[in-house]
């Protein structure tokens, strides 16, 4: 089997990007308060970007003769990103901090993908991982700025 560790990371990303999309949806739906009019539509952009990453990652896995997770059960059983039940008891800053946690996890997983694809010499996938990690780092910076904190990339 060619690129086994790279394919494992790709499929982990399928589960985790799916989960992250749902967490962004929840933030979008349960948001109230200061900056609502600015942040609510911004979450649409964040969802679109994560969904686009999910498509790129899934299609790369298929191109490598892999089989991406494709059911909600598989996503839930395999994601490592923690979620919260939907409720109105979280503030928008708490929800944004939760997004930062998810993005930091993805940043680290993309780095793992960069590392394993380097060892397995799958430089096409490595290029994808590098580009998507860069996009994730930008999201961390933007959310941290909204929370009046430094980006602390690679934290």
Please, what are the domains in the chain?
Answer: 4-64+90-146 (1.20.1260.10)
Note the pTM of the prediction, 2 decimals.
0.94
Read off the DSSP letter of residue 155: -
- Alpha-carbon distances of 10 from 50, 116, 120, 123, 135, rounded to whole Å: 14, 11, 14, 14, 17
pLDDT digits (tens, 9 = 90+) for 101-120: 999 999 999 999 999 999 99
Q: How many CA atoms lie within 13 A of 100 on its CB side?
A: 22
- Angle at the Cα of 111 from the Cα atoms of 49 and 93, rounded to 5 degrees: 50
Residue 124 has pLDDT above 70, yes or no: yes
Q: Which residues contact 86 (CB under 8 A, 6 or more apart)?
A: 26, 29, 30
Confidence class for position 155, pLDDT limits 50, 70, 90: low
Question: For 78-104, what is the mean pLDDT?
Answer: 95
- If you count DSSP H runs as helices and E runs as strands, how many of each does the chain have, helices first? 5, 0
pLDDT of residue 18: 98
pLDDT of residue 150: 87
pLDDT of residue 154: 64
pLDDT digits (tens, 9 = 90+) for 13-51: 999 999 999 999 999 999 998 889 999 999 999 999 999
Q: 66-89 as b/e, with b when 16 or more CB fall inside 10 Å?
A: bebbeeeeebeeebebeeeeeeee
Residue 123 has pLDDT above 70, yes or no: yes
């Amino acid at each position: 089997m060619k690129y086994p560790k790279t394919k494992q990371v790709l499929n982990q990303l399928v589960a985790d990007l799916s989960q992250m999309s749902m967490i962004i949806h929840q933030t979008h739906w349960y948001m109230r308060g200061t900056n609502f009019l600015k942040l609510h539509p911004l979450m649409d952009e964040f969802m679109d970007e994560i969904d686009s990453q999910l498509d790129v990652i899934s299609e790369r896995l298929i191109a490598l003769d892999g089989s991406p997770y494709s059911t909600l059960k598989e996503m839930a059983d395999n994601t490592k990103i923690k979620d919260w039940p939907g409720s109105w008891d979280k503030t928008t800053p708490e929800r944004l901090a939760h997004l930062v946690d998810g993005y930091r996890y993805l940043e680290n997983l993309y780095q793992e993908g960069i590392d394993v694809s380097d060892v397995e010499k799958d430089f096409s996938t490595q290029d994808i991982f590098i580009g998507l990690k860069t996009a994730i780092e930008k999201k961390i910076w933007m959310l941290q700025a909204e929370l009046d904190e430094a980006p602390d990339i690679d934290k």
